[in-house]
Amino acid sequence: MNILVIGSGGREHTICWKLAKSPLVDKVICAPGNAGIALDFECQNIGVEDFDKLANCAISNNCELTVVGPEVPLCGGITDYFYDKGLKVFGPTKAAAELEGSKTFAKNFMNKYNIPTAQSADFSNQKDAEEYIKQQFANCAKGVVVKADGLAAGKGVFVTSEESVALSAVADCFKGSFGQAGYNVLIEELLIGEEVSILALCDGKSIQALASSQDHKRLEDGDLGPNTGGMGAYSPAPVADDELMRIVQKEVLDNFLLGIQKENLDFKGIIYAGIMVTETGIKVLEFNVRFGDPETQAVLMRMKSDLCDAMLKTAEGKLSEVKLEWLDETAVCVVMASGGYPQSYKKGYAISGLKEAEKNGAVVFHAGTKLSGKDIVNIGGRVLGVTAKGADINSAIEKVYSAVNEITWEDVFYRKDIAYKALDRLKNKKEK
Each residue 290-309 as x (binds ligand AMP by CB under 6 A) or -, in order, gives --------------------
Q: Which does 322 bind (CB under 5 to 8 A by kind): ligand GLY, ligand AMP, none?
A: none
Residue 285 in the binding site for ligand AMP (CB under 6 A):
yes
Neighbours of 320 (CB within 10 A): 11
Spatial distance between the Cα atoms of 300 and 305, rounded to a whole number of angstroms: 9
Shortest reach from residue 149's CB to ligand AMP, in Å: 10
Q: Between 181 and 400, name the residue whose CB sits nearer to ligand AMP.
A: 181
264 touches 211 (CB < 8 A): no
Residue 157 in the binding site for ligand AMP (CB under 6 A):
yes
DSSP H helices, 226-321, are: 242-247, 254-262, 295-301, 307-315
The DSSP-derived string for 330-376 is: EEEEEEEEETTTTS-----PBPB-HHHHTTTS-EEEESSEEEETTEE
Spatial distance between the Cα atoms of 389 and 386, rounded to a whole number of angstroms: 11
Q: Which residue is nearest to ligand AMP (CB)?
A: 286
List contacts with ligand GLY (CB under 6 A): 215, 230, 288, 292-293, 295
366 touches 10 (CB < 8 A): yes
Which residues, 112 to 141, sit near ligand AMP by CB under 6 A? 118
Q: Between 103 and 399, name the residue whose CB sits nearer to ligand AMP.
A: 103
Choosing from 48, 89, 191, 393, the residue that interacts with ligand AMP (CB under 6 A) is 191
Residue 275 in the binding site for ligand AMP (CB under 6 A):
no
Helix 307-315 and helix 10-19: axis angle, to 10°? 100
Spatial distance between the Cα atoms of 187 and 184, rounded to a whole number of angstroms: 10
Q: Between 233 and 396, name the residue whose CB sits nearer to ligand GLY.
A: 233
Residue 147 in the binding site for ligand AMP (CB under 6 A):
yes
Shortest reach from residue 280's CB to ligand AMP, in Å: 13
Residue 217 in the binding site for ligand AMP (CB under 6 A):
yes
**Sole window of 21-29, 34-42, 187-195, 357-365 interacting with ligand AMP (rule: CB under 6 A):** 187-195
Q: Which does 149 bind (CB under 5 to 8 A by kind): ligand GLY, ligand AMP, none?
A: none
Neighbours of 148 (CB within 10 A): 26
Spatial distance between the Cα atoms of 103 and 185, rounded to a whole number of angstroms: 9
Instruction: Kindly state the DSSP code that residue 432 receives in the 8-state scheme.
Output: -
Shortest reach from residue 216's CB to ligand AMP, in Å: 10
Q: Between 73 and 230, name the residue whose CB sits nearer to ligand AMP.
A: 230
3-state SS assignment for residue 135: helix
**Sole window of 189-197, 233-241, 296-304, 318-326 interacting with ligand AMP (rule: CB under 6 A):** 189-197
**Minimal CA–CA distance to 106: which of 265, 212, 254, 213?**
265
3-state SS assignment for residue 273: strand
Shortest reach from residue 274's CB to ligand AMP, in Å: 5
Task: List contacts with ligand AMP (CB under 6 A).
Answer: 118, 145, 147, 157, 159, 188, 190-191, 195, 217, 227, 274, 285-286
